[in-house]
């Protein structure tokens, strides 16, 4: 190095030399803090000595003419040859108009922003605005805040598979069903995908991370075989008796309320339906519509003259956004006509509108009415008014399964049932209900044989399979 004793002693001295491995080693051993060794071959390339470390640096001018200094790496972890190569590449980038230091600072700021973008901040910001525009957005936000409370202060980009495994274990400890855990985790995956699409985080950190499905218990195995089932005749009797008893009880309760100081409450004795629950449940029985589609049903969708409903099926709207037309039975039309008249024959609006808001009911609101109807059937069965009650664990969705199952068992073809159920793909119908279809294969084969036996009956010389030799004509017929 071209130095003098006074330069070596003075902190912050500038040294010049061709930077080689030996020159770098001597500088690192002898230099004082803030000393620099500038390379005589590559302008701006130098070493700087600090108290804690020696670093490779490069000083350059950006496109605006401003002098910038960027750290390339630490010595001796980065050798002289490696540092020189990186310095050349960095200078080449500056000649092309890039500013390496500005890019590095932007990357640090981005990383810092990601570190500060916690789940609670994202939920309270852009994601809340996004979900508030969706039909069930508020429920989704509540689920995320409730089920992922321990994740709220975590940066979105820092979530790992270990976090998921611990979270699932905690959920299972609460004895929650796997389907419930899956729904909550699906909501979190949707949030992370949303953040990644908008550049809030570089990528969904949990992409490809799936929940571990626990082994089914004996009870769950038994329930799995009955989850999608149809109603037995005695259960159908219980259903209608339960609905009627539910209405009678509501009317009786209203009479008492009006008699005991609340005469302003509407009289329920003069209406067909005491509230929206009976007609909604009966429509589900007669049409097989999903609860969500009945909650979203509007009078604009209903044609009582032609006995049809034409609407977009909400669950598969992302696959089939066009409206579909469904024929409905006279019984379903009768329910709709009675409810339509009771509501003042509106031309527009929700069929089952909340009278307080005019909007659709929350999809969980029907559950308490369904529970009461089942409780009524239990009392009726205990008093021997009906043969058996509705099972306490019977889901309302079973009415939809019953609709499809009964149609298939009565001979309806799977394609027709698929369309009536609003399935996006006939494979869904086959997978869940195909086993109920009558096995016509043997009948088809037997009928084929009978038809040809009838044809050949008038041609004795053509008969085969009876122990008699076949004539050439009979052989030709068989080949044909």
How many angstroms from the chain centroid is the CA of residue 133?
16
Given this model, what pLDDT does residue 286 score?
Answer: 95
Residues of the chain short of pLDDT 50, as ranges, are 3-9, 111, 219-226, 466-480
Do 308 and 187 fall within a single domain?
Answer: no
Cβ-based neighbours of 389, under 8 Å, separated by 6 or more: 238, 374, 377, 378, 380, 381, 382
- Could you tell me if residue 54 is inside a domain? yes
What is the side-by-side strand order in the sheet with 36-39? Answer: 14-17, 36-39, 45-49, 54-61, 67-75
How do residues 232-265 score in pLDDT, each as one tens digit?
999 999 999 999 999 999 999 999 999 999 999 9
The residue behind tokens 């570089």 is 202
Pair 211, 181: CB distance under 8 Å: yes
Structure tokens at 148: 């992922």
Q: 3-state class of 36 per DSSP?
A: strand
Whole-number Å distance between alpha carbons of 9 and 32: 7
Structure tokens at 31: 């230099």
Do 108 and 251 fall within a single domain?
Answer: no
Please tell me what DSSP assigns to residue 215. P
Given this model, what pLDDT does residue 160 score?
Answer: 93
Do 247 and 260 fall within a single domain?
Answer: yes
Residues in the chain: 480
Half-sphere exposure of 32 (CA within 13 A, CB side): 12
Residues of the domain holding 101: 5-114
pTM summary value: 0.55
**Burial grade of 251 (CB within 10 A; 0-12, 13-18, 19 or more):** middle
Do 138 and 102 fall within a single domain?
Answer: no
Tally of domains within the chain: 4
Given this model, what pLDDT does residue 327 score?
Answer: 94
Could you give the angle at which helices 414-421 and 398-409 cross, rounded to 10 degrees?
A: 160
Do 284 and 303 fall within a single domain?
Answer: yes
Whole-number Å distance between alpha carbons of 75 and 47: 8
CATH, residue 156: 1.10.150.130
Do 328 and 410 fall within a single domain?
Answer: yes
Given this model, what pLDDT does residue 479 score?
Answer: 41
- Could you tell me if residue 220 is inside a domain? no
Q: Locate all alpha helices (DSSP H) within 125-259, ordered by sequence.
A: 126-131, 137-147, 161-173, 178-197, 218-224, 233-259
Given this model, what pLDDT does residue 120 score?
Answer: 86
Given this model, what pLDDT does residue 72 score?
Answer: 87
Whole-number Å distance between alpha carbons of 381 and 395: 19
Instruction: Choose one of 114, 131, 154: the last residue of a domain.
Output: 114
Whole-number Å distance between alpha carbons of 268 and 275: 9
Do 282 and 302 fall within a single domain?
Answer: yes
- Could you tell me if residue 409 is inside a domain? yes
Given this model, what pLDDT does residue 19 score?
Answer: 94
Do 253 and 375 fall within a single domain?
Answer: yes
Whole-number Å distance between alpha carbons of 430 and 423: 11
Do 142 and 101 fall within a single domain?
Answer: no
- Could you tell me if residue 251 is inside a domain? yes
Sign of CA dihedral 340, 344, 348, 350: negative
The residue behind tokens 């009771």 is 342
């Amino acid at each position: 190095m071209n130095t003098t004793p006074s330069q070596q002693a003075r902190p912050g001295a500038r040294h010049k030399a061709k930077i080689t491995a030996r020159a770098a080693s001597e500088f690192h051993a002898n230099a004082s803090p803030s000393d620099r060794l500038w390379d005589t071959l590559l302008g701006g390339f130098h070493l700087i000595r600090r108290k804690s470390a020696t670093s490779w640096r490069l000083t350059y001018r950006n496109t605006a003419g401003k002098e910038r200094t960027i750290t390339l790496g630490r010595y001796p972890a980065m050798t002289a040859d490696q540092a020189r190569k990186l310095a050349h590449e960095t200078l080449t980038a500056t000649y092309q108009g890039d500013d390496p230091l500005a890019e590095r600072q932007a990357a640090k700021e981005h990383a810092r922003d990601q570190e500060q973008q916690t789940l609670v901040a994202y939920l309270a910001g852009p994601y809340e605005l996004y979900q508030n525009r969706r039909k069930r957005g508020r429920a989704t936000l509540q689920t995320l805040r409730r089920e992922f409370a321990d994740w709220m202060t975590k940066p979105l980009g820092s979530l790992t598979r270990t976090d998921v495994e611990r979270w699932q274990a905690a959920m299972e400890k609460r004895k929650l069903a796997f389907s419930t855990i899956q729904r909550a985790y699906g909501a979190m995956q949707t949030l992370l995908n949303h953040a990644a699409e908008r550049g809030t985080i570089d990528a969904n950190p949990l992409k490809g991370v799936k929940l571990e499905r626990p082994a089914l218990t004996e009870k769950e195995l038994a329930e799995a075989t009955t989850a999608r089932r149809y109603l037995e005749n005695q259960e159908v009797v219980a259903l209608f008796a339960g609905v009627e008893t539910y209405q009678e009880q509501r009317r009786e309760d209203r009479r008492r309320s009006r008699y005991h100081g609340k005469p302003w409450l509407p009289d329920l004795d003069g209406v067909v339906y005491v509230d929206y629950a009976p007609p909604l449940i009966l429509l589900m029985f007669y049409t097989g519509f999903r609860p969500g589609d009945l909650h979203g049903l509007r009078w604009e969708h209903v044609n009582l003259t032609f006995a049809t409903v034409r609407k977009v099926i909400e669950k598969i709207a992302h696959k089939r956004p066009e409206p579909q037309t469904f024929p409905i039975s006279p019984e379903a039309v009768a329910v709709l006509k009675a409810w339509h008249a009771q509501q003042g024959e509106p031309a527009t609006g929700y069929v089952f509108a909340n009278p307080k808001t005019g909007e659709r009911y929350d999809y969980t609101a029907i559950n308490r009415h369904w529970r009461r109807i089942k409780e009524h059937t239990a009392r009726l069965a205990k008093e021997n008014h009906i043969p058996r009650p509705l099972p306490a664990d019977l889901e309302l969705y079973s009415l939809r399964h019953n609709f499809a199952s009964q149609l298939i068992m009565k001979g309806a073809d799977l394609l027709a049932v698929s369309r009536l159920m609003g399935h996006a793909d006939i494979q869904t119908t086959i997978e869940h209900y195909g086993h109920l279809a009558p096995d016509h294969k043997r009948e088809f084969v037997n009928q084929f044989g009978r038809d040809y036996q009838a044809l050949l009956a008038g041609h004795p010389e053509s008969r085969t399979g009876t122990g008699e030799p076949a004539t050439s004509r009979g052989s030709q017929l068989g080949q044909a």
